[in-house]
Amino acid sequence: MPASRWVLITGEYPPTPGGVSDYSRQIAQGLAEAGDEVHVWAPVQPPRIEDRGLKIEVPKTVTGSILDSRSSMHAFSSQSRAEDRGVTVHRLPGRFSPRDLEILDRFLSRLSKPCRLLVQYVPHAFGCKGMNLPFCWWLSRRLEPVWIMFHEVAFPIARHQPLGHNVLGLVTRLMVSLVARKAERIFVTIPSWEGLLPNSPSVHRRVTWLPVPSNIPTVASSLAVREVRGQIASANETVIGHFGSYGPAVTGLLMEILPPLLQKDPQRRVLLVGREGDQFAASLRKANPALQKQITATGTLMLAQIAAHLAACDCLVQPFIDGVSSRRTSVMAGLALGVPIVTNAGPLTDPVWKNCQAVVLTPSPSPGYLADAVENLLGQAERLPELCRQAVIFYQRNFALPRIIQTLRHGTALPRIAC
């Protein structure tokens, strides 16, 4: 396939942490490795980092005179070396303000054509408290082809909410209407997002499901896994893991799911992987002092370390109030590594999950259902190897990064494949 020229616009990019940040880097590097020219535009970040061999440098100062310079197109960019295969990261001084849009205008006017804009859309990532109408109007007036990846669509509207929240909901829907009607192609991380787009046949004909791949290594070092396992459990003990950011909706469920599992068998250990896991572990120990020695948390880890800790688990329990879906990178990480997963269905669960045998899926996030499912799984040790195998197959067929890149470069959707 001939090489393409992409301008990827995102509200966050490493070193800023976050799922969209990680995804944006994966897509940029995946397209570049396929032979395309890729430019990334994101808000300014702290000075120089190294991103998988790609140098990113940021000016020490940002002044108004830059906008008047003939070199403004490159004022916030880092030119990639030959081995970076065309990737250039550019930094905006603000969060898509009129000044930033002027910088983008100048850059695009000088960039060789044809090129395509690929926008990683999350309303609050573009500043203005999630209501950046001028940015969406700017996108709607572009002459270049615009492709939109909806990670989130619009803030909900509900009677019980404060008036300000409903105003936010109305404005974000207007923003979506502007960009969706302009977009040549529309991608959604989960099928449910399509229902929030403008009710227009021409819009819905352009929609493609494009899931989010794992943002950690999909293979863990066997030596590292053995070392982790030796640190947290003895040979005859079982490790139940959880990976996430430990928001209140999930920790409320875990607080009811984990203690009964540990109380039933003193040979079980819980491993809490991810930022804020150590804080949740402290709360869990305080509420269950008799279980203190059975609870381990990692805190923040490097990506390879996360992979090793997840691979050291006998199973993962991943509850979600709104159900598992193809935007849950914590589940993607476990699938890719071949770790048996217990999770639940919900209103945002994609049909592909309901028809597969790669995870143990309960009908709701009920703590009782999830705890029973983990108990039943651990009581049938012969099921674990097959679940491991099915998890890897399911991930590779549906969610692996090469499939995502293939969809973007060929412009056609790949079929969803159940187990």
Q: Average the pLDDT over 152-165 and give the result.
A: 91
In this structure, the number of other CB atoms found within 10 A of the CB of residue 182 comes to 17
Average pLDDT, the chain: 87
Long-range contacts of the stretch 386-391 (C-beta < 8 A, 24+): 387/340, 387/341, 387/358, 387/359, 387/360, 388/338, 388/339, 388/340, 389/338, 390/356, 390/357, 390/358, 390/419, 391/334, 391/335, 391/336, 391/337, 391/338, 391/339, 391/340, 391/341, 391/358, 391/359
CA distance 213 to 237: 31
Phi-psi region of 397 (alpha: psi -120 to 50; beta: other; left: phi over 0): alpha
3-state secondary structure string, 80-143?
A: CCHHHCCEEEEEECCCCCHHHHHHHHHHHHHCCCCCEEEEEECHHHHCHHHCCHHHHHHHHCCC
- For position 75, what pLDDT does the model report? 37
Mean pLDDT score, 225-248 = 94
**Per-residue model confidence (pLDDT) at position 381:** 87
Instruction: Work out the average pLDDT over 314-323.
Output: 96
Per residue in 322-348, pLDDT (tens digit) is 999 999 999 999 999 999 999 999 999
Non-local (6+) Cβ contacts of 312 within 8 A are 225, 228, 229, 232, 239, 241, 271
Rounded-to-integer distance, Cα 267 and Cα 260, Å: 13
Count CB-CB contacts under 10 A for residue 168.
Answer: 21
Question: What confidence score (pLDDT) does residue 180 get?
Answer: 93
pLDDT at 199: 87
Q: Check residue 355 and give its pLDDT.
A: 80
pLDDT at 52 over 90: no
Amino acid (one-letter) located at 218: T
3-state DSSP call for residue 390? helix
pLDDT at 72: 38
DSSP code of residue 73: G
Task: Say yes or no to pLDDT of 71 above 50.
Answer: no
- Residue with tokens 């108004």, as numbered in its chain: 64
**120: pLDDT confidence band, cut at 50, 70 and 90?**
very high
CA-wise closest residue to 371 among 261, 238, 241, 251: 261
DSSP single-letter state for residue 17: -
pLDDT digits (tens, 9 = 90+) for 127-143: 999 999 999 999 999 99
Q: Output the pLDDT for position 411.
A: 67
pLDDT of residue 99: 95
| Residue 126 banded pLDDT, cuts 50, 70, 90 | very high
Contact 28/54 with Cβ under 8 angstroms? Answer: no
pLDDT for position 152: 94
Banded model confidence at residue 412, pLDDT cuts 50, 70, 90 = low
Query: pTM for the whole thing?
Result: 0.83
Asked whether the beta carbons of 277 and 309 are under 8 A apart, the reply is no
pLDDT of residue 1: 58
**4-45 pLDDT tens trace:** 899 999 999 988 888 899 999 999 999 999 999 999 999 986
* 57 DSSP β-pair partners: none
